[in-house]
Amino acid sequence: MISVLFDNRQDIMEITEANEKAIETAVETVLMAENQSGNYEVSVSFVSNEEIRSLNKDFRNVDSETDVLSFPMDDDDEFDGVIILGDIVLSTQRIIEQANEFGHSLEREMIYLTVHSMLHLLGYDHMTTSEKEEMRQREKEIMKELQLFK
């Protein structure tokens, strides 16, 4: 069982039930693609550029806006048999900007950022070229499975 908790702390973009369902599907697809089974919980927050910039500064010491932040929990964080993977924080302003920039839908951008962040929660990173290539390949494979890769 996979539980996705939503927290909408912005008023820039309407977050619909369809958006939430698409995110839940993306979370499930990433877990299946990574051969993860069990009971999982993930938190997804929608925030403004101002809030994500503040979080980025506080937690990463980077004083700039970003599109998504991932806050993985420790590997042993389990509560009543539920593995708490961590938190995904999405900037809705950046979703809108990047969807326009790349010429695709808001939902496609939101799902891509969710997939990217889920891979971070599962231990992927892109600090080196090889890590970046591996992570990008996994993103493409998962987005294809979600039928969202061009």
Residue 104 labeled ligand binder: no
pLDDT tens-digit readout, 101-113: 999 999 999 999 9
pTM: 0.94
What is the phi/psi pair of residue 9, to 5°?
A: -115, 30
Question: Which of the four pLDDT bands, split at 50, 70 and 90, describes residue 77?
Answer: low
Of 81, 111, 80, 84, the closest CA to residue 95 belongs to 111
**Measured on CA atoms in the order 149, 40, 76, 6, is the torsion positive or negative?**
positive
pLDDT tens-digit readout, 55-68: 999 999 999 999 99
AA identity, residue 84: I
What architecture is domain 2-145? 3-Layer(aba) Sandwich (3.40)
